[in-house]
Amino acid sequence: MSGPVDDVTRVSRTPRPVGIIAMLAAVVSFALSTPIVKWAGETGVVVAFWRMWFSLGLWWIVMRAMRRPFPDARTWKLVAPAGLFFGMNISLLFTAVTRTSIAHLEFITSMTPLVAVPASALIFKERPNWSALRFGVISIVGVALVLFFGPDSGTSSLEGDLIVLSVVFVWTCYLMFTKRARANGVDTITFMACMVPTGLLTTIPMALVLAGDEIFSMAARGWFVAAGLAVLTGMVAHGCIAFAQQHLPIQTITVMQTAQPALAVLFAFFLLSEQVRWPQVIGMGLVIVGISLFTLTIQRRTNVVSGQVV
């Protein structure tokens, strides 16, 4: 899903078609990301490694084109923790993609708000609407259906699912440190330009340990996917969300984002021939309903927004 690297300015109270189009583009971009990582047929952490390097070049080109000053030491210090967790997150996420099904991955990570909201309340002393947690139970039941009723010949595995659970924890840490950096005045472009190189400090050693010499032996399809993701999700999707936030209420954006996991499963069906059974479809519906109600309720008291940047 999308990350919280946004510039919230003047927002239209009435949803505008241009904002809806921008959000649709962002949701589709993020939904495509995990299936195409698996489609690449490469070791996940290797794709993550090169995706980060491509993103680094793109964001610093943007920085120079916009004549932004080089970030000062205070900015690097604020952004560095978020970057370290992001590098770990993308490495674990892309590894999990190759070890479990897209349905398992997407719907487990969709539970992030249930972890992020209490964490934000604890760390930032926010006062969320705790009654919203009852809607989380709906999502938990839905995820259980997705996990336990998959096809016998599916691509899911316990190892992969456990990696996905670690992704939820790491992503929540990323959200917390991102919130702190943004609250201290770091804008989107500067944040991304600092976050990506600091993210490489965790991506590089993880790639060396998990992949070794495979880092430099990707096929043409792998290079295409790594470069494409740097543009598709690293630039375009984030830009669309930042644009949409000027034209749509946050509630509209949040509800639209809940469609991402289901779209990802649909893309996995066409790109990877991954099968889904009817109990899983029912579970997906419950997850989407539960997370939508949870997030809409919680946003009455807090602005925590969940997501999975890839």
pTM, two decimals, is 0.84
How confident is the model over 35-53, as a mean pLDDT?
Answer: 95
The rounded mean pLDDT for the chain is 84
The pLDDT value given to residue 128: 63
The pLDDT value given to residue 250: 64
Decide: 163 and 96 in contact? Cβ < 8 Å.
yes
The pLDDT value given to residue 36: 96
Which of these ranges, 50-54, 118-122, 191-195, has the smallest mean pLDDT?
A: 118-122
Q: Break the chain into its structural domains and give their ranges.
A: 17-298
Taking only the tens place, the pLDDT of each residue in 129-172 is: 667 778 888 888 888 888 888 776 567 788 989 999 999 999 99
